[in-house]
Amino acid sequence: MKKAFTFIAAAMLFSSNVHADQKEKDTEHCPQLDKITEVGTGVYRASGNNGEWIGTTQDALLKSNKIHSFNSASILQENSSSPMKFQNCSYNLGRGKQVQLRFTLNNSQDYTVKTVGKHWQKGPGPFGLTEYFCENTSPENCEFTIVK
């Protein structure tokens, strides 16, 4: 009986760890500033749990393309019953310029998202869409779950 109880307890502990690991793998957030690298003039990259963040600036000839701060993240939704589509994470460069990083899944398939946490605010978006935006916080607080 004691062996059976030990086995069941170990199995439950293992399955909860697997569930926590899976949740972490399916959740993304805007990259922290120190995780973003400029891999070419005006081309920025960061790794995600399930893919890659990449963005380019149109002002690639600026002498200083250093990212200074996080600005916002954006998700669009056509209506309340339609899927949410992640748009970008926006970062401030020098001289009033910005770069938007977009997320691509490792397998390059289309995906939708669900917001995670309290930092997303719902508001009117372009062309009558609904926009969820995350701003005035750290980029890692702008979390979302990948829905495949």
Q: How confident is the model at residue 60 (pLDDT cuts 50, 70, 90)?
A: low
Q: Say whether 134 sits in a helix, a strand or coil.
A: strand
**Rounded average pLDDT over 49-70:** 84
In this predicted structure, the answer to whether residue 28 has a pLDDT above a threshold of 80 is yes
Residue 3: inside a domain: no
**Rounded average pLDDT over 114-140:** 97
In this predicted structure, the answer to whether residue 123 has a pLDDT above a threshold of 50 is yes
Residue 128: inside a domain: yes
DSSP 118: S
Cα–Cα dist 136/141, whole Å: 10
Q: For the chain, what is the domain count?
A: 1
Residue 43: inside a domain: yes
Domain that holds residue 129: 28-147
Longest dimension (CA), the chain: 72
At 52 the pLDDT is 97
In this predicted structure, the answer to whether residue 143 has a pLDDT above a threshold of 70 is yes
**Rounded average pLDDT over 107-113:** 87
Q: Encode pLDDT of 92-101 as tens digits.
A: 998 888 999 9
- Please state, for a pLDDT cut of 90, what percent of the chain lies above it: 66
Among candidate residues 144, 19, 22, 20, the one with its CA nearest the CA of residue 83 = 144
In this predicted structure, the answer to whether residue 56 has a pLDDT above a threshold of 80 is yes
Cα–Cα dist 46/84, whole Å: 22
DSSP 81: T
In this predicted structure, the answer to whether residue 44 has a pLDDT above a threshold of 50 is yes
**Residue 96 in tokens:** 């009033």
Residue 6: inside a domain: no
Mean of per-residue pLDDT scores for the chain: 85
